[in-house]
Structure 1
């Protein structure tokens, strides 16, 4: 069994790791790295410890040793829970992956679920649910309610709350079971299920247990696609889920470039408008409306995003 992120399984190693953390928090990453290295001599199989060691080394300006430490994380972390390859990509040691490992995303949000809303809404001024639902309302106007909406990457249900009043049936899917449990507490979904948007239709979980294809006339993905680099799989699923004429309301982080996408220091992906438009067309959608806006704060700085309303072509 792999030692947990919080404990190496060795009391003395844990104590040194705690002191290392305090040194890092006090602004001395070089000293933190030195003490963390001593902890790892006692617990060399602690993948999370190597990850912390890499972080301290990077902050201390020792990129070469940080890369070496991340290689050790890769060696120990067969399930890719810690996303070492993403961090290696930011350091220029490997090519940028087209998507993060599913287990990394799942573990990230399982751990984050209990404090997700407090962190995102109260401290980071997260505003995608309100802004995206307002854009959808402006485009949809006074048309009748949607028959069936599928909320992809529903998280704790923040966007579900916003659209519940305009849909007759609301389904929510997420990779994290802990996020799904939080969404269930809101009582706004008619169905909640686990799904992986990085997989094909058969593997995704979106069409299991008798769930039909082409069933939705509204698809939503609020603050979801930034956890996918290449959008082909997710948009293929959107095509499989949607009926002709269905609306797809979603957000991306704005790459601020004319084309392509990139991996940001936050380990989220940012996409250009041109890239998203091209992928939508290839998947059978056309863009009906967009809005550029600030979607959250990160490190005290605003994060720019693009909100899209797309229509599924017949």
Structure 2
């Protein structure tokens, strides 16, 4: 313990628990977690039922991902606290329970927080989040509205209210709520994307924040949901297309996997590669990709920014792949140009893109080259992809229209494209 954390005023004086707790709380807020933990634990060695200390140790466990320990410690805090129990205890208990997958228990905890303090806006907000996670959008919308009645500048509540309104088929209300988010947080990429989508404004790509939030939130169940439920096999099809035209011998390729996600493409192409590099925005997706053991290097970055850095080295790859990544990028000119510069002579660029040609004419917003669909994803025209290939120095070796996955039980048509450097 540093000299600044000596709470003894003399050998005969008692330890000042309140001063110690306040110091630990400030350390905790400043991110100095080990120092804070040391003080918290010392407080409990003197006063084992110190409720605020038990509560914040539980919060610390939750922040570290140890949700079971968090639930245990916060429950001890609730048991030890004077009545009425502070609403924030129930709120943080609910967050830990939800993170542990105990959704019904989480809703009970959030409800208890509201019961003890009817003016506690975070309680209504988190109850709404839990309800939306269960698909009860009407009830969730009511809770977000209650949170905003208490705290009108609550940007997260405006955002979640907008999502609920969009889910309920109320685009005007959703657009107004997303615009309120941007008034409070002008740089909010998630709200920017939805405003573009709902207003029909042209946009060239989805913001990084939007893409990261989607994939970080789905990393745990991504492979099972995509492959088993949505019948997704694009990585295997891209590799099969490569094999038919490139005819690789065992482990000959150096590969750059753009938007590698959990590593489905990397796993499919690994038997034909001696070196695979992956790039993705989502740290949680990259954690999953790392466990496959097929990537020599994984980069957390926006793919175009990463390609700009790689371009300083020059043409080092035999193959560049990108499976279901261009659904988040409308304008692909720069991606094609960078891919051409990173490929060795005779190298291959294999990718998929949702098919604009297969969609109704007046569904979504955009240009004849690409369109931002109501799903929040971009679709691309075959003519645009072919034109970009030619302008960037590629020959289109193969192009096929195939169902990429199911959406609402219906197949989503996509282009599978193989280009070779000329």
Is TM-score (shorter-chain normalized) higher than 0.5? yes
- Give runs of aligned pairs for residues 121-140 of structure 1, distance below 5 A: 121-140=227-246
Contact residue 90 and residue 265 of structure 1 kept, 8 A: yes
Contact 2:230/2:405 (<8 A) preserved: yes
> Distance between the aligned counterparts of 1:109 and 1:52, measured in 2?
18
Rounded to whole Å, the distance in 2 between the matches of 1:61 and 1:164 is: 43
Alignment match, 2:42: none
Change (3 A) 1:23 1:233: closer
How far apart are 1:221 and its partner, in Å? Answer: 0.6
| Deviation at residue 26 of structure 1 after TM alignment | 6.8
Which aligned pairs between 1:1-314 and structure 2 lie closer than 5 A? 12-17=120-125, 18=127, 22=131, 29=138, 32-81=140-189, 83-91=190-198, 93-141=199-247, 145-199=251-305, 201-202=307-308, 205-206=309-310, 212-256=313-357, 259-313=368-422
Gaps of 5+ in 2: 1-28, 30-93, 96-109, 115-119, 362-367
- Given that residues 16 and 38 in structure 1 are in contact (C-alpha distance below 8 angstroms), is that contact kept between their aligned partners in structure 2? yes
CA 1:26–1:162 in 2, change beyond 3 Å: closer, same or farther? closer
Whichever structure has more helix as a proportion of its residues is 2
Contact 2:321 2:349 in 1 (8 A): yes
What is the aligned-residue RMSD (CA, Å)?
A: 2.9
1:15/1:144 CA distance change after superposition, 3 Å: closer
Count of residue pairs brought into register by the alignment: 300
Following TM superposition, by how much is the alpha carbon of 1:240 offset from its aligned partner in structure 2, in angstroms? Answer: 2.4
| Separation of aligned partners in 2, 1:213 and 1:28 | 50
Question: What is the TM-score when the length of structure 1 is the normalising length?
Answer: 0.84
CA offsets per residue over residues 260-288 of structure 1, 9 Å max, x none? Answer: 11112221111111111111222211210
- The CA deviation string for residues 231-282 of structure 1, in whole angstroms up to 9 with x for no partner, is 0222122122111210111100111269411112221111111111111222
Structure 1 residues 151-160 or 57-66, which shifts more? Answer: 57-66
Going from structure 1 to structure 2, the CA distance change for 1:94 and 1:241 (only over 3 Å counts) comes to same
CA contact (8 A) 1:113 1:179 kept: yes
State the shift of 1:192 in Å: 1.6
Question: For 1:33 and 1:274, how far apart are their aligned partners in 2?
Answer: 42
Q: CA deviation at 1:142?
A: 5.3
Task: Please list the CA deviations of residues 86-129 of structure 1 after superposition, one character each: whole Å capped at 9, or x if unmatched.
Answer: 222332x2512111112221232223222211221122221111
Contact 1:80 1:104 in 2 (8 A): no
| Contact 1:85 1:94 (C-alpha < 8 Å) held by counterparts | no
Task: Give the deviation of 1:206 after TM superposition.
Answer: 3.5
State the Cα distance separating 1:214 from its structure 2 match: 0.8
Unmatched 5+ residue regions in structure 1?
none
Question: Does 1 or 2 have the higher relative contact order (CA < 8 Å, sep 6+)?
Answer: 1
Q: Which moved more, 1:266-275 or 1:43-52?
A: 43-52
Asked if the contact 1:157/1:182 (under 8 Å) is kept, the reply is: yes
SS in 1 for 2:219: helix
| Structure that is richer in strand per residue | 1
Q: Distance in 2 between matches of 1:61 and 1:193?
A: 38
8 Å contact kept, 1:198–1:228: no
